[in-house]
Each structure stands twice: as structure tokens, then as C-alpha cells.
Structure 1
Amino acid sequence: MTLLSQSRRTRLHLSALALALSAAGSAHAAAPHTATAKVSVHLPTAPLLVQINQVALERTGPKRAIVEYAGQGSGGTYTVLRDGTPLAQGTLQPLPAFSEWGKGKQYYSVDFSSADQAGRYQVDVRIGSRQASSAPVVVADNALFATTAKALLDYFHRSRHTDPADRSVRIFQTNRKVDVWGGWQDAGGDKGKYLSHLGYANHFNPQQASMAAWVLAYGADVRKARFSAQGLQAQVEDEAFWGADYLHRILDAQGYFYTTVFDQWGTPGAERMVTGYEGAAGTYTPLYRSAFRAGGGMAIAALARASLLARNSGRHGEFDGAQYLADAQRAYDHLRRFNAQYGADGKENIIDDYTALMALVELHHATGEQRYLDDARARATSLMARQTRDGGFISDGGQRPYYHAAEAGLPVISLVAYAAIEPDTQRQQRARAAVTSALAHELAITGSVANPYGYARQRFQLTTGGKASGPVLEGFFIPHRNETDYWWQGESARLASLSAAMTAGAGKPLSTAQAAYAQDQLDWTLGRNPYGMSMLYGFGAKNPPIVLESAGEMFVGGISNGITGAVGSDRGAGIAFAPGPNSEQWRWVEQWIPHTTWMLYAVMMAGEG
């Protein structure tokens, strides 16, 4: 494990404390922990714990509490309370023995999905002489979206980057300066701006600012009814156009997007510039032209969708809808020719396929042109050719399984989007069959071992000499020994992406297993995890601690990286959250824009029908 540079540990200003405390005072939830000293967060040691989603559950959806018991004896009873009044009672249902996250515990499930009246719920449990109660949770129609959407949008607004110095930033290894003003800071402690990073590792590129811009534009345009019902339509439109305007500015005259605006995480004396970077030291590289997988594909998708939003709403940002569409078309034409050479290894992989497919779907929506459908068919065919017989995916042309800490659901979402524009029945059916197979794989691998919380499991390989090799393994968390050399933090974005993929891919109604899987991933982030901690800041009974020295500012509506495998485990086995004290606590605590992006997308897709 490579440690981050001293700059990342010391880049923050004390003024962040005032911002964090202000955010913590929001009326959204109980006041979270606000200690600013470095802290250690260990698994709770109480003999009896009842873990539950602490934020919101759908009235007609899955509702489950998990009980952890470390005492003597077994069995026990539960009571479900609504607004303080007992509603249902029963015997605890034991779950299969599970010891990967600590020995000596018994697990039980309390399923109260049949409770379909709105209210404030808690679960009370008794085993022998022990008694414990869950945190409260709101149950209602459209509960999660109505409860969180405003704060999620506010997070983007609070994260806007408006430093005028970005009006003139040099491009690495040139004397040319460009206007890259706007956009969003990437994370609580990082004022850099990224379409993507980790490009040097080839298979780990996350979609960052461009994904945020697309989700906002898609939500404002396609999910308008949901935002309007909460009085949020103008706000989501404003944020979508803010993102589209930034994408216009970072589109070079030659037709490529700038991948990052970076200053080595605020290292004193480091020049802020348009550049690529590599590794934990943030070494500048010339890999600053965005391939499809390095944010270019989703930037095209976002601009095309923003053009539709402008057309349908009669509004726009600094630039108009015609400009957004012209940008998207020019950028696609450029990457269609040069994409492979913008990747670190000169080869396309699965991330190029699904991000290019998203770009093509949105270009087809915006223009109706046959050429975009033709290219979408080719990309969908390439993506489906990477699927294994059991529904998983291969990342490259070899045997490396596809796994991703931020967007594991995006291959499925891209195929769902493609199927929606495909007029040919056979092609459409093939895409839908691939989606069905992929979702079945997710259910199978997640349920193949004892898994009390239903945490989405994944296949992976460990790296040798910087390349994935050896046997294909399975586990809960991203392996620490991977191609990036240092990047294995929490997976809140990944979980929300998989929840959204299950919801979008399964259609309505979801099966019982599909609905449970989709809910399990959100529940983990929202408090139903072994730490009893809601990663969504400002919501729930307990939030991650503020660790300014490592993780920076905390905004209400921001989501922390989350839980990982144990420190020191190459495979990511075991479990950890913010051990220390040390400079690595950002791995668990820091808020990152893809987490809130994917949560917003997931909640706008959930709870309907």
C-alpha cells in the first residue's frame, strides 16, 4: 500500500471547520459526530445490535433490519413499532453462520416488508436478558427521493468551483493557457476537477464530473415529474447547465476534452494545470486528452442530453442548447478517430464500450441520426461480446474480470439505454437478454456465500508486476493489490450504481430477489451496515467523523467513501472503517462527487410503480 503525498494530508484550511459545522447543523437529521481530531472507528462491541436504513424506506418496498448478537444463547423475539406503537411481533429468523467480519457473532433478519402504512418505524429486539432497538426510519411513498433529493442537489451547488484563477490555466508541457473555469471540486479535500482519473491503470477509470453532468441533465429532462413534485426542477436544471457549461469550456479546439485540472491535491508550489497524473505521488503526465473511458464518453452524453433539456425547457446556461449539441457531435467525431491512442495502453476496453454507448444513445436521442444508431449497435455488440456465459463481464480481450469501485452497474445501464432506442426487435431482444443475464449474475455471486447484509460481491484478480493475473477470485470489497497501486477506498458509488442497474434493468415489477438486492445496496450506505453509520452526511443517527487533516470539508448531501476490506489484506478481505489515527483516513471518510452522483441517480430511479 502506497501512502499519499504529504500535500494531500495537509492541503486543507482551518476555515473548512466552520463549513463542516454549519453543514452538520442542518435540520435533515440528528446531529452527526463532529470531532475534528483524528479518530479510530472500530466495529461496535455491544453484544446486541439492530442495524437498519436510518434515512427512508419505501412504503411498498423491501424493509429489513439485521441483528448482530455476540452474547450467549440464541433465539429471541422482535417487535416492529410504528410511531412508537407495537405493530408486529415475531421470532427472530437466524441467518447462515458468517465470520469474515469477526468471529463469535450470530446474525438474524427482521423482515417487515409487509408493513405498508406510512410512519416512523423502529425495530426492538430481545435475546435472553439483552434488549436493543434500531435507529428510527421514515416509511412513506417516494420516501428516499423526497427525503434526500434536495440535499443531494445542494451538495453539487456547494461543490461548485468558482476560483477565477481557472480562467487561465496552462496545459502540461506547453505554454498554452485555456479557460477551465467552473465545474465542481472533486472531493471534500480536493479542489481538483476531473472527468476521470486513474487512466494509467486502464481498467479503473471512474466517470466523475461528466457523469455528474449527465445524471443532472437526464434527471431534469427525463425525470422532470419527480423533481417538479418536490419543487426542485429549477434547481436541477441550473445544476445540469452548470455542468454542461464546464464541459463546453474544457473541450479543446481540436475536439478532445481535458481530463483533469490538477495541482497535486493542493501541494504548496505545485502548478495547477491541465494534465494527466499518475499514482499516489500525483506525478504529472501528458495523458490529459480524455478517451471515452476517461470521461469523454459521458461528457458527450451529458452535452447531448443538456441540448435536449434546453430544447424541452426553454432554458440554458451560459451557452445554449445548439452549442451543447454541436460540442457533443464534434467531440464524438474526434474520439471516433483517436480514442485508442488516448488510452494509456493504446487499447480499448469495456469502459470505452459502455461510455461510448451512452454517448451514442444520447446523440441519437438528440438528433435521430442513423449513423449514431449504427455506431451504437457496434458498441453494444462489442460490449455483449465481453459477457461470460454466467452473465459477468471481462474487462479486456483476455481473462481479466470486470470489477469497478465506482460504476459497476454502468455496463447494464448502457445496454438498457441502448435497447430503448433500438428499433430492430432481434437486436433489442439480444440486449435485453444480456441485461437479464448480467442481473442474474449479480444475484448469484452475491448470494453464493453467507452474506447477512446482502452486500454486492465481485470477481477480481490480484496484480503481479502491475498487471492483473492469476486465479479469478471473489470477495466483498475491492482488492487492495490492484493495477492502480494505491486506490482501494470505500465503494458507496459502486453500490448505488448496482442498485440503479437492478432497478433499470429488471423493469417493473421487480422480483422479490431483485427488489431486495437493489434495496440492500442503498441500505448499506444509509446505515444498515456493521458500523451502524449513514454515509450520507446530515442524515441518519450516526455519520462519519470529520477529519479535516485527511478528508476535508463535509457537506450535507455528500456521501463518504465508505467501508473497505481490512487494511493489509491484498484481497480486501475482512472489514475496516477509518482506523488510525493516520493520514489514510480519507479512504473511508472523504466525500467524493461520484458517490452523490450515483445516489441521486439511484433514488430518482427507485420507488416508482
Structure 2
Amino acid sequence: MTRSPPSRKTGLLAVAALAIALSSLPPAARAADAESKTTVSVSLPADPLLVQINQVALERRGPKRAVVEYKGEAAQGRYTVLRDGKPVRRGELRALPAFAEWGAGKRYFSVDFSDAEQAGRYQVEVRIGRQQARSAVVPVRDDAIFAIAGAQLLGYFKRSRHTDAADRDVPIFGTSRRADVWGGWQDAGGDKGKYLSHLGYANYFNPQQASMAAWVLAYGAHARKALFAAHGLQAQVEDEAFWGADYLHRILDKEGYFYTTVFDQWGTPGAVRMVTGYEGSAGTYTALYRSAFRAGGGMAIAALARASMLAKQSGRHGEFDGAQYLADAERAYAHLREFNPRYCADGKENIIDDYTALMALVELHHASGRSDYLDDARERATNLIARQQADGGFVSDGGRRPYYHAAEAGLPVISLSAYADIEPERERRQRALDAIASALKHELAITDAVANPYGYARQRFQLTQNGKAAGEILDGFFIPHRNETGYWWQGESARLASLSAAMAIGGRKLAERGTAGYGLTAERAAYAQSQLDWTLGRNPYGMSMLYGFGRANPPTVLESAGEMFVGGISNGITGAPGSDTGAGISFAPGPDSEQWRWVEQWIPHTTWMLFAVMTMAADGDEAR
């Protein structure tokens, strides 16, 4: 989520929405939720033997792996894979390297049944010594996660729509002007604010929020039309894409910039809801409300350009038409091309400006065919590639600060992949492909550099000193808690899905295609799958962060995390509180006023999950 909010009451409407959401949960999740209306604290399971698996769905032709955690003396064990309740395979557990960062005294094993390609409902049973345990049951089928959860992932956006008429007329901070900013989506379960991005004051943390959602929906409806239509979702995704495009039109100022946030200090009593920037855990209003490329402006342009193509393809549109969407996108790009550094908190561009502007230019080129957009895309791609280090990792600035991001770490690779699709010159395209290959190699290398039983995507970072990243370059599993924002760290469900999408999209652009699933080599396919598996239940807590799916879901904490929508995804697991580097592991330890860090649903999580599963559902190159 976006903040450390003041305590507040959510009211009868929130409770009613919660009751509706709970009615569609699996029994175990409803039972867990019923016990969580007061103080909530979630600890690692104490069971001596656990079998953790993706609880939502696994691809019929793709990686399928369970992780076994064991506390005991026995050194060996056996497993049985069941399909529809009947044994289909038996064997010895494969021991994994010793790992103690998330708790001493455990041994880890794995069960790989990737070659079980018959559709059905699978379960893994394990016996070690006198201990026996079974995993959750997981469906295995084609287009697995999309087929089973796609409708609810998409439905999350409609459930999150913001329709308060008061947003038809809100003040703009520091001016006498007012604006119509009606529509869009609330940012999170406990936040009715609307964000193209936030954390701009920290320069390197801007996430793409509503603008990314609008692009993913428009891209899905247009480029993945066959997939959505096959599952009866085409009209629904078109409606949501145009809803997003209409909102972007309304928040485009006459001068040519987008409004970054519509904010009321997270519903603080007495706070004025307005177009504003803000900073820090107090939500102090600032004049940083003009969106730079990195503050949602780039992806807003991309979304409007793609929505214009969707309108042309479908013969439909929202309140405004496709010609208006494209005109908005072109006007906004022309403005940011001239003024973007002025809207950056530090007055200079960084890697996020490069990759979001590159996405904007690719989509403008697709929509208009104009060669000047290709020229500018080449410049942005050159800038982005120049930020890549010899080992494939990126730096965020002109120095040595490592690029890391809690919500969109895969977007640099995705933007270069999109650029490669429009680049006709062979040498330029090859440079982009080489950068993609190097970046993916880096992601695999840093993830495999230490014992890592769950295959969780690790990251490189620096801690802050006097408010700026400095000192030794470190690496670890989770985002560091001592960072430039001064307060913001949370679970990384969006980051993981973005990396899955990057591995699938980038990997399929390269020559080394494979047959291990998703058109990828075995190593890349396993990485892409592992990040989704973590969010969907194959994690040490045995909890699916996708609400309404799986054997267990996060608890409800109305005090700071607000409503829980079916199809929404909670922030997720973090490093331990009190650890500057984000070492250790934690999920919802309390107090309740801090539970937003783990429990709250946030729009980028469902956005990136939907994008990842629509990407991975199609084993082949993306439609244009």
C-alpha cells in the first residue's frame, strides 16, 4: 500500500462489502477471517512437516513443484503424487541445500512433477520418519491461472471503481483552480485515493499504479482478444479498459500533464480531498502533482494510445472516443518531452523515466505509425541500455545506485522487449535483445546465488545514509526497510508477477526457446513459475494472497487494511520488522495499525498478476 495511515473507521459500507466478499471464499479462508476481527497476528506454521504448493492452478505443460519443510531427525523421505485422489507417481524426496535465514532447525526438500501433463486435481503426500502431510489440492489444466482466476482478477477492477460524485469538482493544491477527476479506481482496500503513482519525493520508488492498470486492461483487450473472448471476458475487459482511459482523459490538465494523485491523507477526518502531491508517513501535501514519465505519465500515455487501438478494433469506446484517446496521448507526450525534468522531485530523469517513456513511445508508434516516435524510442532504449552493468543488473541513476523496485522490477525488460518489436534495424534490435538476455541472466544468477528453497526472486540494493542510498551494495530477498522513502516497505506481490512476466516475454524474444512451459527453457520457466507460486500459496505461510482462492487467505484487518475484494491480492510477505536490510521473514505480525504492509490489497498486485497470467497463458510471441 501507500502509507502508514492514521487509525480510522471504515463504516457500514465497508462491512457490507466485506460480507459479500467473504461469502465467496473457500471454507478455510472464511473460518480464518471470522477469527480476525480484533487483534491479528500471523506466525509461521509450527507443524513439523509441511507441503507447500501453488493452491490456485498449475499449467498442464509447465513447471509443477512442491516445497517440503521438515523439523525432525530423519534425513530421507518419500512422496506420492495424487491425481483426482489416485496415486500416479511415487519417489524419494530431493533434499535441498541447507537454509536457515527464515528460521533455524528446518530441512527443505522438493517434489517436481512437471512431467505430469494430464489435466486433473493434484495433491502431494509426503512421509518423513513418522510424520505425514499433504499439500493443498491444485487444479492442473491449460491456461491454468487465467482460466480459473481470470474472471475474478478482472472483476477486482470493477469492484474497485471510484464513483463518488464529489470527485467531479475538487481543488488543485496551491491554486484557485478546481478539476473534474471523477472515475478511476480506488488505490487499495483501505484507501479511496486515486494514484497514477506515489513516492515521487523519493525519486527511485515511483510505482505505476492506475496508469499501469489502464494499460494492462487496454493491452489485454486489444492484443489478447482471443484469450479473453475464449473465456467469455472480452466485453468485460473492454468496459474496464475504457473506464480507465476515460479517467486518464479527465485527469489530463489543459497544459498537457496528468494529475498524479487525488488524495485526502488516507481518509483522515478533516483532510481536504484534492489534486496534490504528498510525501512521508504524515501524507504532507506538496505541489508535486504534475506527473513525470516516472510518476505515471509514461504509462498513462501508453494506456491511452493502446485504448485508441482498442476502440478502432472493437468499434466501441467509453465516454470519450478513440480519436480523443490518441489525441490525449500525443498531447501529453509532447508536453512531457519538453518539461519532464521539471516534474521530477530532484529535477533530473532516472531509469524509471526511461522505461516508462519507452513504453509510451512504443504504443504511440503502434497507434500512429509516426517515425518520430521510433526515433525517440531509440534514444530512450539507448539510455536504458547504458544504465545496464556488466553483470546485467541496472543502476537507477547516473552513478552506482542499484535499480530495485518493490512493484515493477520486470518493467525494464518488458519495455526493451516492446521496443524490439518496433525496431526495424537489425543492429539496434540486437542490442536490445542482448540487454534483455543479460538482464534475465542477472535475475537468475542473483536468485540462485544463495540457498533459496522457494526460488524467491532476490534483489540488489543500498541502504540509506542521511536520506540517500550510499555505502556497500547488498543483496537479499526482500526490499530493505531503510530506504529513501523514510517509511515505506511492504510485501512484493506485484514485483514478483512483474518478474514472471519479464522472464516470459523477454525469454521468448531470445533465440534459446524451450519446451519447459511458456515457450521457455527449463531454468527460465521455473523462475517465472516460482514467483507466481509464492503469491498463490507456495510460501512458508502456506497462504494464497489472492483473496477467494486457495486453502488459506490473509486475515481481514479493517483498521489499516480496509476492505478485501475477491480477486484482490494482498501486499504479501516481507523481511522482519526492525531489520534495516529486510532480512528474516514476516507476515502480519501486528500491531493492527501496521497490517497494511502485509494484508492490504493494492491495485498494482492484481494488475501485474493479470498481466503475467495473460502473458503466460499464450505460449508464443505476444500479439501487437
Category of TM-score, reference length = shorter chain: over 0.9
Map 1:102-121 to 2 at 5 A. Answer: 102-121=103-122
Contact 2:199 2:205 in 1 (8 A): yes
Identity over the aligned pairs, expressed in percent?
75
Contact 2:5 2:593 in 1 (8 A): no
TM-score for the superposition, normalised by structure 2: 0.96
Offset at residue 27 of structure 1 (A):
6.3
C-alpha spacing 1:573/1:550, structure 2 compared with 1 (3 Å): same
Contact 1:29 1:538 in 2 (8 A): no
Partner of 1:420: 421
Partner of 1:225: 226
TM-score for the superposition, normalised by structure 1: 0.98
Distance 2:483 2:573 in 1: 18
Partner of 2:516: none
Q: What is the SS of the residue equivalent to 1:284?
A: strand
Tell me, which stretches of 5 or more residues in structure 1 are unaligned? Answer: none
Distance 1:74 1:39 in 2: 36
Aligned length: 606
Distance 2:97 2:225 in 1: 43
Does 2:518 match 1:518? Answer: no
Offset at residue 582 of structure 1 (A):
3.2
Does 2:605 match 1:595? Answer: yes
Q: Which amino acid in 2 is paired with 1:173?
A: G
Q: Which amino acid in 2 is paired with 1:17?
A: V
Offset at residue 24 of structure 1 (A):
2.0
Q: Which amino acid in 1 is paired with 2:96?
A: L
C-alpha spacing 1:27/1:587, structure 2 compared with 1 (3 Å): closer
Does 2:173 match 1:163? Answer: no
Offset at residue 160 of structure 1 (A):
0.2
Distance 1:442 1:347 in 2: 27
User: How far does the alpha carbon of each residue in 1:233-269 deviate from its partner, in whole angstroms, 9 at most, with x for none?
Assistant: 0000000000000000000000000000000000100
User: How far does the alpha carbon of each residue in 1:321-369 deviate from its partner, in whole angstroms, 9 at most, with x for none?
Assistant: 0000000000000000000010000010000000000000000000000
Does 2:4 match 1:4? Answer: yes
Partner of 2:467: 466
Partner of 1:99: 100
Contact 2:3 2:488 in 1 (8 A): no
C-alpha spacing 1:582/1:334, structure 2 compared with 1 (3 Å): same
Partner of 2:201: 200
Q: Which amino acid in 1 is paired with 2:84?
A: D
Partner of 2:22: 24
C-alpha spacing 1:573/1:409, structure 2 compared with 1 (3 Å): same
Contact 1:11 1:265 in 2 (8 A): no
Does 2:128 match 1:127? Answer: yes
Offset at residue 5 of structure 1 (A):
4.3
User: How far does the alpha carbon of each residue in 1:434-491 deviate from its partner, in whole angstroms, 9 at most, with x for none?
Assistant: 0010000000000010000000000000001110000100000000000001111000
Offset at residue 607 of structure 1 (A):
3.2
Does 2:545 match 1:544? Answer: no
Partner of 2:143: 142
Partner of 2:283: 282
Partner of 2:618: 608
Contact 2:5 2:560 in 1 (8 A): no
Offset at residue 606 of structure 1 (A):
0.8
User: How far does the alpha carbon of each residue in 1:34-61 deviate from its partner, in whole angstroms, 9 at most, with x for none?
Assistant: 2322210000000000000000000010
Contact 2:81 2:87 in 1 (8 A): yes
Offset at residue 422 of structure 1 (A):
0.4
**1:571 corresponds to which of 581, 596, 615:** 581
Q: Which amino acid in 2 is paired with 1:574?
A: G
Q: What is the SS of the residue equivalent to 1:196?
A: coil
Partner of 1:294: 295
Distance 1:193 1:12 in 2: 17
Contact 2:559 2:592 in 1 (8 A): no
Partner of 1:535: 545
Contact 1:404 1:494 in 2 (8 A): yes
C-alpha spacing 1:105/1:584, structure 2 compared with 1 (3 Å): same
Distance 1:429 1:4 in 2: 45
Q: What is the SS of the residue equivalent to 1:603?
A: helix
Offset at residue 30 of structure 1 (A):
5.6
Offset at residue 505 of structure 1 (A):
0.3
Distance 1:18 1:30 in 2: 20
Offset at residue 608 of structure 1 (A):
2.6
Contact 1:203 1:349 in 2 (8 A): yes
Q: What is the SS of the residue equivalent to 1:557?
A: coil
Tell me, which stretches of 5 or more residues in structure 2 are unaligned? Answer: 514-518, 620-624
CA RMSD of aligned residues (A): 1.1
Q: What is the SS of the residue equivalent to 2:605?
A: helix
The runs of 4+ residues in structure 1 deviating greater than 6 Å are none
